Structures are given as structure tokens and as C-alpha cells.
A = this chain, B = another copy of it.
Amino acid sequence: MILGIDIGGTTSKLGLVEDGKVIAHARISTSGHTDDHAFADALADAAIALRQAQGDKAFKAVGIGAPNANQLTGIIEMAPNLPWKHDVPLARMMADRLNVPAVLGNDANAAALGEWRYGAGQGFDDLLVVTLGTGVGSGFIVNGRLVLGSAGNAGELGHDPIPRGRLCTCGRQGCLEAYVSIRGMRKTYAELAGVGEKDGILSQEGVLPIAEAARAGDTAALRTFHDTVDLLAIGLANAVCATGPRRIVLFGGIARNGELLMAPLRDRFQEVLLNIYRGRVDLTVSALPDDDAALLGAAALTTL
């Protein structure tokens, strides 16, 4: 039994993983703690309560997925979307509190491992998993191993430059993530519809209102999907040139828009792909249950 932890901007989830399934869940708020030590205490308390509810069966390791986590150091490095703006050595903090080995990994790498071990990436030794949510993350599997890079921070597909100039949260212009994220798609819709970023259908959160409007034939919403597909196709084609994956798995909120996204994306991707890769790489959507994917991925970090 492994404990998987998924650190999110708002909520942090815990799950006991056995045989590739999450058999018990818990969650705590990520914010509202005095400091990072108090947060780690709360996380450990929740883990112990979860274990006790399972008859105090021991877990042999903790896997933690978090934004801006560096697997080589076990540190969450100044994550802009978490309450602590400094470095947090969460792997060691949890290992100390729970007395088991802890592995901390980037949430997108955790997703990639989860898909590779338990999901749509099973059996693919050259795989790319792209997470499309608040931000755009990615995890590359190459030659049957996760790519960490020399500094532990490889796989930042969201910051690939694309031929547009919108300012990205990283401070540069024209990153993929500035367009192909929930925030990016909402901004594109606002521009195309000529509305404020919280007006009209955008008064609802996420990309669901844009998807609903597109399905109802709204021109700005349809063009938002069209533009997003176009840029995502370029970003994916770009990544294929680097590591030549056999399969790309899309994961996260934006990927859950079904054929509204995937049908045009498959076509456009094959069009912009360098000829030597055509027909040699397929695109698919995560098949893992939404709520458990991040926890399974976090647990998979411990079995590297």
C-alpha cells in the first residue's frame, strides 16, 4: 500500500493506493495554515487518520505530486500558485513525519507516470503526457524512463514558444500556456467575443461555458476552440520532434471536452506534424478516473 498525495492550489488530496486503485480518500485545504510546517503537520495528521481508518495497515512509501516540484531535490521550488513563495522541502518534511520514504515529483510527471503505469500509456516506452488545466504541464517518458533532465525540471511544454505574443505567467511572451490553458482559452474567448474576462458566459468558471456555447453554435466560442486546437497542435508537433513518442495522452480539464477538442485536434496535428512522424504517433485522452488520476500518479512516483 502506498500513500499518494496531490498538492493543488486550493485543495490537497490524499489516497491509499493498492493494486493500481485508490481504496480510501481524504483531503485538506492547501491554504489557511500558519506556514509550510503547519501544512505538513495537517497533511501527516490526515494521512495517519486515513491509515487508521484502514485498520492501521502500514503504507510503505509516500508519493507526492505538486506544482513546481523538483524530484531530484525533493523541493517545491517557489511555486507561484501555492501559499508559500519560498522553497519547501516537502519530501523530507513528510518522510520525517510519517517515517516512510517519500518521493516528491512534479504534478505533470506524476500524471505521466500514472498514465504509463495504470492508464492510456501502458506499454508505451516512448510516451508524452500533457496536462491541460489551469496551466499546461507535460511529462516525457523516453526509452522506458521518465525524463527528469539534469536539473530535475525537464518537460515544460507549456512554455514552448509559439507564433503569438500574449504575455505568459512566466514573464515571457508567446508561451503555449498563455493560450492553451483554462486561463488562456477564457482570454481568447473574451477577445473574440469582445467581452470582459468575467462577463457574459465567462461569469461561470472554467472552460465548460465556452464548450457549451460552442456546441450551441456561438461563433466566438467555436473560434476559441479552433484557435486553441491550432496552437496545441503546433506545440505537440514541436514536442514530437524532440523525443519521438509513439503516443500522446492528454489529461486535465481542457482534455475533457471530448470530440469538440479531439476531432479537429487529431486532423490539425497530423497536418502540422513533420512528414516523417505522420501516422507514427497517436493522440488520445486520459482514461483514468478523474478524481483518482493525480493520486495514482503520485503513488507511481515511489515505484520509479
Contacts and interface: CB of A to CB of B under 8 A. Distances in A.
Interface of A: 77, 124-126, 140, 142-143, 145, 147-157, 159-164, 170-172, 174, 234, 237-239, 241-246, 272, 274-277, 280-281
Contacts of A234: 161
A246 B126 contact: no
A148 B276 CA distance: 13
Main secondary structure of the interface of A (DSSP, over half): loop
Nearest to A152: B244
Q: How many copies does the complex hold?
A: 2
Contacts of A148: 143, 244
Given A147-B244, A156-B241, A242-B242, 4 more contacts: A143-B143, A143-B147, A160-B238, A161-B162
Given A142-B142, A142-B143, A172 B272 contact: yes
B150 A280 contact: yes
Contact of A244 (B145, B153, B245, B276): B153
A272 B151 CA distance: 18
Contact of A242 (B77, B143, B243, B277): B243
Most buried by B among A157, A242, A275: A242
Given A274-B170, A275-B171, A244 B149 contact: yes
A140 B243 contact: yes
A148 to B, nearest CB: 7
